[in-house]
Amino acid sequence: MEPGTFEIAVRDASSEARCGVLWTAHGPVPTPVFMPVGTQATVKAMSPAELEALRVPILLGNTYHLLIRPGLEVIEACGGLHAFMGWRGPILTDSGGYQVFSLADRRRVTDEGVVFQSHVDGATLFLGPREAMEAQRRLGSDVAMVFDECPPHDATYEYACKAVERTLLWAAQCKAQDRAPGQLVFGIVQGGAFPDLRARCAHGLIELGFDGYAIGGVSVGEPERQILEGIERTVVHLPADRPRYAMGVGDLRQMTEAVALGVDLFDCVMPTRVARNGGAFTRRGRYPVKAGRYKADLRPVEEGCGCYTCRTFSRAYVRHLLQADEILGVRLLTIHNLHCYLRWMEFIRRAIAEGRWEAFRQSVWETYREEPE
């Protein structure tokens, strides 16, 4: 299949949930899908071989961080981002817009782009739509994101309106730039908490025409209810025949609800970050393996899981490693958490395909707890 082909195999009859396949230059991506975050050309604590063993369909890399270090020249000299990090599967790169706009005290925004200070050494840098797309072309990612302005979740109407105008201006410039062979480009819908601005931004992007559309400005510190409202207010305006991506959304329950609204792609640092802090995700919820009550617990991290960590080690052993600051403890929890997320998406795809979606969705709300037994 040609890169950019999006095949929807099954649509749920009672919601907007669907499962399908997005074809990229490095192969097919089953949807709905979760993308582990490899911000600096690595998923923290994991090797590419381990990611392949987990059957990770697609990774996310970040243009901003890779521009800062090691720099595009180094990555190009190594043959592009795939060769540089030893990953054979698809890669989606974020344009760096969110990272730049999170540097609120280090940046100056104009219609041309953003002047900002590097978080590493304080050097003055510039990133705009042309620079972001050139960087992603040179990286050679399978999916490139447009450069956008992401306002804070509590932005005023005036601020959000200006961000939408700038996002559309930049999206048009991004669309006009050269791209790597087979590279797809996704537009990003902004608009803050305002339905009319989200509709306006979505329709403006659709007029430009992109390979897929992302829902930006959600999961940026607002309560869960507002996250789902932002997704719902956006997705209704997006074309049904194109993939939809909820940027930064990674809570298991929130992803489930977003799938019901018609979202196809997700990314988040949660599974790896929680692992580094001694926490484990399970099908029933999240809990702190490093807590004292698990000191002599002989059960696996999650009973019935089947990942390498759970087949081989006890909670007691993993906790011991964490308490002793042994790197293996974080690695074992990361393997488990990523397996949990990937398995969750498999459950979702299977439930949609087999006509059990509403039953699965209901079971999530009935059984998933913040800290299960």
- Which residues have CB under 8 Å from 219's CB, separation 6+? 227, 246, 247, 248, 249, 250, 254, 268
Distances (CA, A) of 163 to 149, 194, 214: 5, 12, 15
pLDDT at 105: 74
Superfamily classification of domain 6-268: Queuine tRNA-ribosyltransferase-like (3.20.20.105)
Question: Which residue in the list 12, 196, 267, 297 is annotated as catalytic?
Answer: 267
Share of the chain above pLDDT 70, in %: 99
Does 178 qualify as catalytic in the annotation? no
The predicted model gives 175-198 an average pLDDT of 98
> How far is C-alpha 273 from the chain's CA centre?
13
Residue ranges of the domains in the chain?
6-268, 275-367
pLDDT at 134: 98
Distances (CA, A) of 28 to 34, 211, 330: 14, 15, 30
The answer to whether the beta carbons of residues 3 and 12 sit under 8 Å apart is no
pLDDT at 164: 98
Tell whether pTM > 0.85: yes
Structure token pair of residue 138: 């040179």
Does 196 qualify as catalytic in the annotation? no
pLDDT tens, position by position, 296-319 = 999 999 999 999 999 999 999 999
Structure token pair of residue 26: 């490095």
> Rounded to 5 degrees, what angle do the CA atoms 149, 59, 251 make?
70
Q: Which residues pair with 144 in a beta bridge?
A: 93, 185
Structure token pair of residue 155: 């932005």
pLDDT at 182: 98
Structure token pair of residue 241: 């025949």
Dihedral sign from CA coordinates of 130, 136, 137, 139:
positive
- Which residues have CB under 8 Å from 369's CB, separation 6+? 284, 285
pLDDT at 117: 86
Separation of alpha carbons 130 and 132, rounded Å: 6
Top pLDDT among 121 and 252 is at: 252
Q: How confident is the model at residue 372 (pLDDT cuts 50, 70, 90)?
A: low
Residue indicated by tokens 């041309």: 112
Q: How confident is the model at residue 234 (pLDDT cuts 50, 70, 90)?
A: very high
Share of the chain above pLDDT 90, in %: 91
Where does the chain have alpha helices with state H? 48-53, 63-68, 72-77, 81-85, 97-102, 129-139, 157-175, 195-208, 224-235, 252-260, 270-276, 308-312, 315-323, 327-353, 357-367
Closest by CA to 247, choosing from 261, 271, 265, is 265
Question: Which residue in the list 12, 94, 148, 251 is annotated as catalytic?
Answer: 94
The answer to whether the beta carbons of residues 335 and 309 sit under 8 Å apart is yes
Residue 84 has pLDDT above 90, yes or no: yes
Q: How confident is the model at residue 369 (pLDDT cuts 50, 70, 90)?
A: confident
Dihedral of the CA atoms 310, 311, 317, 323 (nearest 10)?
A: -40
The predicted model gives 281-299 an average pLDDT of 97
pLDDT tens, position by position, 88-111 = 999 999 998 777 777 767 788 899
Separation of alpha carbons 313 and 301, rounded Å: 8
Structure token pair of residue 367: 């059984």
Residue 78 has pLDDT above 80, yes or no: yes
- Residue 164 phi, psi dihedral angles, 5° rounding: -65, -45
Q: Tell me the CA end-to-end span of the chain in Å, nearest whole number.
A: 46
pLDDT tens, position by position, 114-163 = 998 888 888 898 999 999 999 999 999 999 999 999 999 999 999 999 99
pLDDT at 314: 98
Separation of alpha carbons 91 and 80, rounded Å: 11
- Mean pLDDT over all residues of the chain? 96
Q: How confident is the model at residue 371 (pLDDT cuts 50, 70, 90)?
A: low
The predicted model gives 157-179 an average pLDDT of 97
Dihedral sign from CA coordinates of 204, 210, 213, 216:
negative
H or E segment at 20?
strand 18-24
Amino acid letter for position 282: T
pLDDT tens, position by position, 254-271 = 999 999 999 999 999 999
Q: What is the DSSP string of 240-285?
A: TTS-EEETT---HHHHHHHHHTT--EEEESHHHHHHHTTEEEETTE
